[in-house]
Amino acid sequence: MGSTKKIKSALISVYHKDNLDDIVKKLHDLQVKIYSTGGTKSFIEGLGVPVTSVESLTEYPSIFGGRVKTLHPKVFGGILYRRDEAKDREEAAKYAVPDIDLVIVDLYPFEATVTSGAPDADIIEKIDIGGISLIRAAAKNYKDVLIVPSKREYAPLQTLLDEKNGETNVEDRRKFATAAFNVSSHYDTAIFNYFNREQNETVFKQSFTEGMTLRYGENPHQKGFFFGDFDALFDKLNGKEVSYNNLLDIDAAVNLIADFDEPTFAILKHNNACGLATDSSLLKAWEKALAGDPVSAFGGVLISNREIDVATATEIDKLFYEVLIAPSFAPAAAALLQTKKNRILLRQKTVLTEEQQYRSVLNGLIYQDKDLSTEKPTDMTPVTAVAPTSEQLNDLAFANKIVKHSKSNTIVLAKDKQLLASGVGQTSRVDALKQAIDKAHSFGFDLNGAVMASDAFFPFPDCVEIAGKAGIKAIVQPGGSIKDKDSIDKANELSLTMVTTGIRHFKH
């Protein structure tokens, strides 16, 4: 192990003081001289532990409403001077700079203040200056100084003090320094993104301090990690570890279900809905969703926007699935579903609020606004001689929501707020339609009176003709092709109704 050093002095300046008392008492027991200021100093004094004010060390008061407290050569000199450099030791003695062997800092809660909706002036005051400077200084000089950069490191510090009685080696100090630069870089990223909300600077910065190692990536020979706070979104009630592919399907599922207000059940496979239905009865919504494709449903990800009751849970339990997501579970329903130990049950605590998305490409990434447009019946413009009925408009809006969340090229067929079939991920829109029709017929659905949704416009009238021959009576598409008239004319020829939205929903 590397050079061992005894902690003889500590500077403590923290925002969060929870669980700090045992650390302070331990330092006192180890005869460590403690420096502090402001509220932290008062907290330490309240514990009956001797503490020296930073102001008495610097012979300078805290000024400008506390904006300047620790920014002084005697503080930063005590942290930064190199103990193994003779010249540094001489200068420290000459200018009465004390050794500071341990720095404990917890920064002002900038992100929490932004999230709270506080006014700009309050947010600016939560940009920590002294604390972040102390963190960087102590981490830079980790060969001599131990840095504790946030309350998350209080427990590891307590363990270190208990096990080694105030001694640390260079490996210990470097580990804490790594945590320190993680804290400082994340903090600066949050501040930059606050100031750059309008993307005035074409710069991409993201930072996640929460993460977990996955069993593997998309395939067993690939490593996989998730960076984000999964527990902020879900309570995991049962099941094995969430996998890389589970996460992709969970993401697709929660984005899809967010577009539905009425009781709805969806079944997803490889990020696409293979079954989806809306009904006043959740049990019926489940049964209709499953009927859409009972083959693909095997091993799928299930999601509902209503509490899972016992009757619905009893039917769900008959199917092998990977993940079931709902806002809540009736106690008896949860108990029933938890009897299968590997099946993942997630209680969704909140909806996704992110309005941008990004993905890696080439040697960088692409970034865009999320597709948050969800067209209602009132957003649809009839373009054919036959006008849509109110029932058709509701079904068209239903189908168009599913199209939005399906891989392009995609066609969705629906009737009575039930997904009958879809063709997804096809290189040709005609192929997507043919796939959907064949699939609907294979599961016994009658397409007479069904509606069709397309994620993009029709460059030719062929899809309209195929749909009409299959019994489809209403079509929704974005419009915008230079040959829109050809598709409209074909719809009129077949006495179909067609509406346009002006909104394309490509998804790749």
Place of tokens 């009925």: 389
Give the tens place of pLDDT for each residue, 204-218. 888 888 888 999 999
Which amino acid is present at 153? E
Give the tens place of pLDDT for each residue, 326-361. 999 999 999 999 999 999 999 999 888 888 899 989
Continuous segment of H or E residues that includes residue 274: strand 272-278
Q: Do 81 and 97 meet the contact criterion of CB atoms below 8 Å apart?
A: yes
Q: Do 443 and 293 meet the contact criterion of CB atoms below 8 Å apart?
A: yes
Per-residue pLDDT at 1: 47
Tell which residue, 54, 43, 50, has the closest CA to residue 20: 43
Per-residue pLDDT at 221: 96
First to last CA, the chain: 51
Over residues 95-105, the mean pLDDT reads 92
pLDDT > 90 fraction of the chain, expressed in percent and rounded: 82
Order of strands across the sheet that contains 9-14: 52-53, 33-36, 9-14, 102-106, 146-148
Cβ neighbours for 269, distance < 8 A, ≥ 6 positions apart: 249, 296, 297, 299, 300, 301
Tell which residue, 393, 387, 477, 384, has the closest CA to residue 433: 477
**Active-site residue flag, 140:** yes
pLDDT > 70 fraction of the chain, expressed in percent and rounded: 99
In the set 140, 175, 236, 434, the catalytic residue is 140
Is residue 253 predicted with pLDDT exceeding 70?
yes
Helix-strand-coil split of the chain, %, nearest 5: 40, 20, 40
In degrees rounded to 5, what are phi and psi of residue 477?
A: -155, 160
Strands (E), 69-190: 102-106, 146-148, 167-168
Per-residue pLDDT at 2: 56
Give me the chain's average pLDDT, please. Answer: 93
**Active-site residue flag, 417:** no
Give the tens place of pLDDT for each residue, 25-56. 999 999 999 999 888 999 999 999 999 988 88
Over residues 291-306, the mean pLDDT reads 96
In the set 25, 143, 270, 284, the catalytic residue is 270
Q: What is the pTM of this model?
A: 0.85
R_g of the chain computed on alpha carbons: 31
